[in-house]
Amino acid sequence: MAIPFQNANLTLAQMRSFVAQLSDLEIGTTENVDIQTDLVNGFIKEGFQKVVALSVRWPYYQTTYSLAVLEDIRAYTTFLQTQPTVIGSNPKVITDIAQIISVVNTDSTYAGNTLIYLDQAKAESLWVGTSDQPGPPAYYSVWANQLNIWPLPDNNYSFTMRAYRNPSLAWLSDDNAAIDISPQLQLPLANYVMARVFQYQEDNEMANAYMRNFEQGIAVLQNNLTAPNSNRQLIMSGGLVLNGPQNSAYGWSDGPGIVVMPGSPNPIGYGY
């Protein structure tokens, strides 16, 4: 059975088939097989959960939602997913979301205004009693599976929310459903499953070899995939003009004209 490792998500059945080919073991549900299907499925689930638990910011789980805020309604629990392709039902509930990154107003009046995260206790201490007056949304808090808007909305508003979603485990109940993990993380997942399979077979040498491959591979991918964006390399050499006379050609007149000078004892000086 050909395994599509290019840019496609493997299904549960394909992952089991790949493990069977690598281990040269028969996986099935009868008594005379080498290892039971349910046990291998359990190893796949275990490895999947270990991988996704390493970071709440795997790029594969980046998601965009729309949020319709209504006048005099503070608490919200459902959000309409707009990107990427929806898995399962839509709208989503807040428990489908692992971490909210931003909540941005998309109305014409307040377009681009970003709500600031505020601790729930702090928000309740500010907007309390007669101080809890309606106004344009400026803050949000998350508590008891609700996203709360502060102050109380004085009108209807539209927001775009960006977040990292929680991975789905729906594929565990459907052999032909794609495993909800980035294609880049599938080989490390397979290495983890192989380690557990050989551990079950009491082949400690092979189990340790595959576990080392898993740990080394997943560490490299985690560092790479979750690293912050970098537009250019950091320049450490001398001669970098921060705001010297060269900038006058571009009309940049602000600042004292500081230049990084090479060498000591005066590595920083004013431009001329």
Q: Domain locations in the chain? A: 12-57+182-225, 59-165, 235-272
In this prediction, residue 222 carries a pLDDT of 94
Query: What's the predicted TM-score (pTM) here?
Result: 0.80
How many of the other CB atoms lie within 10 Å of CB of 121?
A: 10
In this prediction, residue 16 carries a pLDDT of 96
Q: Residue 178 — pLDDT band, cuts 50, 70, 90?
A: very high
Residue 117 has pLDDT above 80, yes or no: yes
In this prediction, residue 260 carries a pLDDT of 47
Q: How many angstroms separate the CA atoms of 188 and 211, rounded? A: 9
Q: Are strands 62-69 and 78-83 parallel, antiparallel or unpaired?
A: antiparallel
Across 35-60, average pLDDT: 96
Across 51-60, average pLDDT: 94
Min mean pLDDT across 62-76, 152-166, 250-264 is at 250-264
Residue 67 has pLDDT above 50, yes or no: yes
**Judging by beta carbons within 10 Å of its beta carbon (0-12, 13-18, 19+), is residue 36 exposed, middle or buried?**
middle
Q: Residue 250 — pLDDT band, cuts 50, 70, 90?
A: very low
Q: How many angstroms separate the CA atoms of 50 and 119, rounded? A: 29
Residue 6 has pLDDT above 70, yes or no: no
| 147 token code pair | 């996203």
In this prediction, residue 267 carries a pLDDT of 47
Q: 156 or 246: whose pLDDT is higher?
A: 156
| 167 token code pair | 């991975």
**Strand 78-83's sheet: what is its strand order?**
92-93, 78-83, 62-69, 157-165, 97-105
Q: Are strands 62-69 and 268-270 parallel, antiparallel or unpaired?
A: unpaired
Q: Residue 227 — pLDDT band, cuts 50, 70, 90?
A: confident
Q: Residue 268 — pLDDT band, cuts 50, 70, 90?
A: very low
Among residues of the chain, what percentage have pLDDT more than 70? 82
- Is the four-CA dihedral 16, 18, 22, 28 of positive or negative sign? positive
In this prediction, residue 165 carries a pLDDT of 96
Residue 1 has pLDDT above 70, yes or no: no
The backbone region for 126, taken as left when phi is positive above 0, alpha when psi lies in -120 to 50, beta otherwise, is alpha
Show Cβ contacts of residue 194 under 8 Å, excluding neighbours closer than 6 positions: 19, 22, 23, 206, 210
In this prediction, residue 232 carries a pLDDT of 60
Show Cβ contacts of residue 249 under 8 Å, excluding neighbours closer than 6 positions: none
Across 28-36, average pLDDT: 95
Mean pLDDT, the chain, as a whole number? 87
